[in-house]
Structure 1
Amino acid sequence: MDSLTQALLGATVGEAVLGNKIGRKASILGALGGTLPDLDVLIQSSMSTVDGVLFHRGPSHSITFALIASMLFSWLALKLQKKTSVSYQNWFIFFFLVIFTHPLLDAFTNYGTEIFWPFLDARVAWKTIFVIDPLYSIWLLIAVVFLLFYGKTNNIRKRVAMWALVLSSSYLLLTVYHKYHVDKNVTGYLEHRNESYDRIMTVPSPLCNWLWTVVIDKGDHYEAGYFSMMIAEQDFRDVIIPKNAPADWMVNEEELRGVKHFANDWLQYKKEEGGKMIVNDIRFGPMLGWYNPESGFIFSFEFKKSENGVIVKQNDREPEGNIKEELGKLWSRIWSTDINK
């Protein structure tokens, strides 16, 4: 999730755990602890393109990191806060919860989070919520604003924090049900039509959990489109994306294996002039949505052969099209399969 939401979550969890003992420090330390795992971007910036995308949400987002960091910060807090009645065990629970809820929440998104590093080289991605979702974050924001202005250390602060966590977590559970509903309907639709496929991916669309992206792997191509929670019967395929094949010179390269691992092999290959190959990670879709697939993919990598091996860089360009118009199409698609209504 976005860094603001992670800070809000950490602040709210911190208040719920230790707010009645250390006051506002719980929210402040919680917010700092909640953003700690994302500091891996400082190291990521010095890495190669492929190593960088693999490192983000890697070691710093694991339960191993949360345990080690919690032990260290608990020891420091015990040394620096001798006047409080907070024990080492209390500090440990506090830091572990504010730190580990960060990667746990990230695991519900599409990017992939290595929670079990270094024991398991797999990126956990349950794909139930978009990386920015106001309906999840709003309850935490309300609670933190209240905590900033309500200075008394008593049970009211804790109750507000707890209610915010209950409401945000309830919405998160709703997103899990939404994904179950979408998966069930998509597979049922294809089976009813006796259509064969290799695999299906369903992910929530930007900012809204009532509209979902559906991508079907048909072997030599993908079929992609939208499924709305608000429509009873619908076809969810709007565009066909050819897979193509990687160039021979890049098949055995470590960089390509890294991108495949990162994207779980949801890739499309496009040959460009000058011998370059564009590798698109289609999990996040085009920048302006599947109604405008030529707008460029959100995660796209350029591979180029050189005398020293393969050079890879992540494409960083502005979307080609009208953002406002494309967002309007997505809003219309929630209510109708005719986006021109």
Structure 2
Amino acid sequence: MDSLTQIVLGAAVGEAVLGRKIGNKAMLYGAIAGTIPDLDVLASNFTDTVTALEIHRGFTHSILFSVLFAPILAFIVTKYETYKNAKDWSWLFFWAFVTHPILDAQTTWGTQLFWPFDIRLTFKNVFVIDPLYTLPFLAFLILTMFQKRNSKKRRLYNNMGLIISSSYLVLTLILKGFSFQTFTKEIAAQNIDHKEIETKPSPLNTILWTANVETKDAFLIGNSSFFDTNPIQFSKYLKNHHLLGDLANHPKIKRMIAISKGWYTITKKENTLYFNDLRFGTLSLQTNAQNFVFQYKIDVDENGTPFFTEITKEKKDAKKLLSDLWTRIKGN
């Protein structure tokens, strides 16, 4: 999830664990701890694209990280804070750490909660930024901040924020189930012979859902709103995996394919190959759009080793997508 959401979650967890004893400092440390797992993004400054993608939401988003680093930070904090109970501080950091990847597991990228085991949890029931999750949560957190440390209202407001936000996540799982049924019925009605289907919410909402459908030679992407009255239109993207040629056997290419979970296409422009991660679709609701959210140019060095360069996304595409979303959410 986005940084603001993780700050809010971390602050609320910190308050729940230690708020009665240290007041708003519990929120402060919870908020800080809630952002620490995302420091793995710094890896992109020191390594290649493929390795950075593998590291992202890996070790720092695991239970092991939470267990190892919670007591370390607790030890450091007790050296300068007046509250010296290391066990309490450890619990604050542990829960602020571990709830971060649990929330991230609800998104399309997922998390390696059980690192070092190669298991990426990804439920795909919320978009990485979801105002309906974050804003009510933030409102209750602000109310909590202005209550006295031992006030019953303080605990009530914080608990309400945690309960409402968690309940919303449960609701999104139910909505995901309904959308999945809608897509499977439509696929059957259109006689689409498919291998696999995955669904996820479109940006900033859980009313308009997107399905990725794998067929023998292509992937189909379609959108469905709960307010739709017409059949779903699917965009078709040929896999074109054969364009990789001998590169398909290179370890770095295989690692990139593993990262995408096999949901990728290859396109060729002016003798240059591009790797398109279909899990995140395109920055457009138009049929057969080509502005993929994650597209990587494939180059080969003098030693025959491929390397990837992410294509910069156009701001105008993002702005148009936001304007088109509202119209599409209301139905087709």
TM-score range, shorter chain: over 0.9
Q: CA deviation at 1:106?
A: 0.3
Q: CA deviation at 1:222?
A: 1.4
Q: CA deviation at 1:154?
A: 2.8
Identify the residue that residue 295 of structure 2 maps to in structure 1. Answer: 300
Q: Is structure 2 residue 258 aligned with structure 1 residue 253?
A: no
Identical columns (%): 35
Secondary structure at the aligned position of 2:293 is classed as: strand
Identify the residue that residue 222 of structure 2 maps to in structure 1. Answer: 225
The alignment's C-alpha RMSD in Å is 2.1
Q: Is structure 2 residue 55 aligned with structure 1 residue 55?
A: yes
Identify the residue that residue 284 of structure 2 maps to in structure 1. Answer: 288
Q: CA deviation at 1:329?
A: 3.1
Q: CA deviation at 1:148?
A: 4.0
- What do residues 273-312 of structure 1 show as CA deviations (whole Å, max 9, x unaligned)? 2x42101001111122344612x21111111223222342
2: CA distance between counterparts of 1:319 and 1:32? 31
- The counterpart of 1:146, out of the listed 138, 143, 147, is 143
2: CA distance between counterparts of 1:267 and 1:88? 47
2: CA distance between counterparts of 1:208 and 1:90? 37
TM-score (norm 1): 0.90
Change (3 A) 1:169 1:335: same
Q: Is structure 2 residue 197 aligned with structure 1 residue 237?
A: no
Change (3 A) 1:5 1:70: same
TM-score (norm 2): 0.92
What are the residue-to-residue correspondences of 1:1-341 with 2, within 5 Å?
1-81=1-81, 83-84=82-83, 87-118=85-116, 120-150=117-147, 152-192=149-189, 194-231=191-228, 234-245=230-241, 246-273=243-270, 275-291=271-287, 293-294=289-290, 296-319=291-314, 323-337=318-332
Unaligned regions of 5+ residues in structure 1, if any? none
Q: CA deviation at 1:323?
A: 4.7
The answer (yes or no) to whether the contact 1:299–1:314 under 8 Å persists in 2 is no
- What do residues 210-247 of structure 1 show as CA deviations (whole Å, max 9, x unaligned)? 0011111111011212011233x542233111111242
- What do residues 243-280 of structure 1 show as CA deviations (whole Å, max 9, x unaligned)? 1124213111122112111111100101222x421010
The letter of the residue matching 2:200 is V
1: CA distance between counterparts of 2:129 and 2:273? 31
1: CA distance between counterparts of 2:47 and 2:90? 32
- What do residues 125-156 of structure 1 show as CA deviations (whole Å, max 9, x unaligned)? 11000000000001221133234444544332
1: CA distance between counterparts of 2:86 and 2:149? 25
Unaligned regions of 5+ residues in structure 2, if any? none
- Count of residue pairs the alignment pairs up: 331
Secondary structure at the aligned position of 2:266 is classed as: strand
- What do residues 31-50 of structure 1 show as CA deviations (whole Å, max 9, x unaligned)? 00000100111233211011
The letter of the residue matching 1:221 is A
